[in-house]
Amino acid sequence: MMTDFKLIAGRLVTEIRKDIFFFGTCGVVVGLLMLWQFKLKTLGVATGKAWPTELFSDFVSFNAFTLVFVGLIAIAAASTLFRSFGFPLPRLEALVAHLEERLSQIASSIISFTLGLSALALLHAVLTLEQGGLALALLVMIFDCVIFFGFVTAGAIARRVAPFDQRGPSLLALGGSVIFVGICLVNGIN
């Protein structure tokens, strides 16, 4: 079982290695733009919505990650349930593999971007002796860990790692996904 988890985590690490230079650099650039926008705003030059903040929101799309994450869990659990009843569906299996690949790509780009942004925040904190950059870096690390372990969890369900190779846990995963979507629809997100 630990080998399965290492393989799943390794897949994400491989994607991060491919993405870290480009998306990490994007994180640094957006961080610089945020600093400059802040300075321009304090000088009274910049008005309106901050473009760097909008860029940050676009790069770090937690909603997109969550949709693919929950979708992968639901579809993988449904696929396992169909298989357990003697109805394997090859197209559904292919969809599960495809979604797992997409989730690794989304997670990798988010993690790489936020690592670049937090590196700049740490550098800024050291150079200016402000603690805000340290707090941001800590929050980014927690955020990245949530994404990393979320990916590993979804991957374990997708690859039918025990106990997700059985009906009961698969039914719970499917039910949990449906309940989560229902709660988001009823309560919204903030």
Indicate the DSSP class of residue 163: T
pLDDT for 71? 94
Q: pLDDT of 4-13, one tens digit each?
A: 899 999 999 9
Give the amino acid at 153. Answer: T
Q: Is 31 exposed, middle or buried (0-12, 13-18, 19+ CB in 10 A)?
A: buried
Mean pLDDT score across all residues of the chain: 91
pTM of the predicted protein model: 0.88
List all residues 6 or more positions away from 129 whose beta carbon is below 8 Å from its beta carbon. none
Confidence of residue 190 (pLDDT cuts 50, 70, 90): low
Indicate the DSSP class of residue 60: S
**Region 110-114: what's the mean pLDDT?**
95
C-alpha distances out from residue 5 to 80, 152, 177, Å = 18, 7, 21
